[in-house]
């Protein structure tokens, strides 16, 4: 049997075998899973599920579905790709690209436990890959060519993945705002992780793509210093620090921060959005100039080698249950 040229629909079903839990967030769960197809086809994917206690909340379910639809066509090397939005036993799930690696929070914890430090050029390299992903997302248009006005709103250590091969991937657009896809309720709630919010988020104001750049600045500071200077004893303290704490001269915080790198950080962390980097593309230019201006600089391969040197044995998967 062959498929003729005039076939317009193909119907199929997927089966996902859940192998192990990767992450548990405030409202969602992520599993490593095996996708089974015809002729003994197998593919490792990540499955994102809504936690049971939130599955019947209409706004959260709407945002979960909106996230899947929004990121379905965000196809970029620095963004975790979404493959499929499905439903099983009345519950929605998202099948996504599986990243063999860790998030930046886990990476920093591993660096500390090994009594090592992240080379500054690799810290800047990671931030530059985040900027590349953001530049793509911020400029994304719909099928009619209309801007989607995407703002991630949750750029943080937990939402940047580093693969063992050195790829850097921005993930979790669950609280992003974009035209026609998600309920964002700006002005009513402060969305995002308090330690990584922009001043606009911390003060319940409207955000634009420059908000993500402030958050990227905090991520870069964490990578360089090994800590987040804005972290307070509580989320409200962290938001207060974001809004009021004097931005330090980072050359005084660490001798690995050069003058031009400090200049980049100062511009990223401007509380006045008009003084901040105007676009992720402009930030990407300065970060790449910083690490490549003298010629050879860090690559995916050098980052991957560093990550693998920390991780040691790569964990195996174990079978668990089917979806």
Query: Are 111 and 60 found together in one domain?
Result: no
Name the domain count of the chain.
Answer: 2
- pTM: predicted TM-score of the whole model, two decimal places: 0.91
**Domain harbouring 293, CATH code:** 1.10.510.10
Domain span including residue 38 = 15-98
User: Does the annotation count 154 as an active-site position?
Assistant: yes
- Interhelix angle 259-268/209-225, rounded to 10 degrees, is 140
Domain boundary among 65, 80, 98: 98
**Residue 270: C-alpha distances to residues 85, 248, 264 (Å):** 38, 12, 10
Higher pLDDT, 281 or 64: 281
- pLDDT tens per residue across span 131-178: 999 999 999 998 888 898 999 999 999 999 999 999 999 998 877 777
Q: 125 and 228 in one domain? A: yes
Is 207 found in the same domain as 61?
no
The verdict on 110 and 38 lying in the same domain is no
Domain boundary among 98, 120, 155: 98
State phi, psi for 140 to the nearest 5 degrees.
-65, 140
For residues 93 and 106, state if they share a domain: no
- Verify that 25 and 143 share a domain, yes or no: no
Q: Of 44, 75, 98, which residue constitutes the final position of a domain?
A: 98
Active site residue: 5, 40, 142, 154, which one?
154
| Together in a domain, 26 and 172 | no
- 279 vs 145: CA distance, rounded Å: 19
Cβ-based neighbours of 277, under 8 Å, separated by 6 or more: 210, 213, 267, 268, 283, 286
Distance CA 207, CA 180 (A): 16
Is the same domain home to 187 and 276? Answer: yes
Q: Report the pLDDT value the prediction gives residue 258, as an integer from 0 to 100.
A: 95
92 shares its domain with 105: no
Task: List pLDDT tens digits, range 30-74.
Answer: 999 999 998 899 999 999 998 877 777 887 788 888 888 888 889
Residues 91 and 133 placed together within one structural domain of the fold? no
Is the domain of 78 the same as that of 122? no
């Amino acid at each position: 049997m062959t498929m003729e040229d005039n076939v317009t629909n193909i119907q199929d079903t997927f089966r996902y075998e859940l192998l192990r839990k990767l992450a548990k967030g405030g409202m969602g769960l992520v599993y490593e899973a095996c996708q089974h197809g015809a002729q003994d086809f197998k593919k490792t994917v990540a499955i994102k599920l809504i936690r049971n206690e939130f599955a019947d909340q209409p706004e959260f379910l709407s945002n979960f579905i909106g996230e899947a639809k929004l990121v379905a066509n965000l196809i970029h090397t620095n963004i975790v790709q979404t493959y499929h939005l499905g439903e099983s036993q009345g519950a929605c799930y998202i099948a996504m690209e599986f990243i063999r690696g860790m998030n930046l929070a886990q990476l920093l914890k591993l660096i500390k436990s090994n009594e090592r430090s992240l080379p500054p050029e690799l810290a800047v390299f990671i931030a530059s890959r985040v900027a590349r992903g953001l530049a793509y997302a911020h400029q994304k248009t719909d099928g009619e060519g209309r801007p989607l006005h995407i703002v991630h709103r949750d750029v943080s250590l937990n939402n940047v993945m580093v693969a063992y091969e050195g790829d850097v991937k921005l993930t979790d657009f669950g609280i992003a705002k974009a035209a026609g896809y998600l309920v964002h309720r700006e002005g009513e709630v402060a969305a995002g992780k308090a330690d990584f919010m922009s001043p606009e988020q911390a003060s319940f104001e409207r955000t634009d793509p420059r908000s993500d750049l402030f958050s990227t600045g905090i991520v870069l500071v964490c990578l360089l210093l090994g800590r987040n200077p804005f972290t307070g004893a509580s989320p409200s303290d962290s938001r207060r620090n974001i809004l009021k704490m004097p931005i330090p001269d980072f050359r005084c915080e660490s001798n690995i921060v050069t003058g031009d790198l400090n200049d980049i950080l100062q511009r990223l962390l401007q509380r006045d959005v008009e003084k901040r980097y105007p676009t992720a593309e402009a930030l990407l230019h300065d970060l790449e100039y910083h690490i490549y201006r003298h010629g050879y600089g860090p690559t995916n391969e050098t980052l991957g080698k560093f990550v693998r040197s920390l991780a040691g044995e790569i964990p195996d998967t174990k079978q668990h249950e089917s979806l």
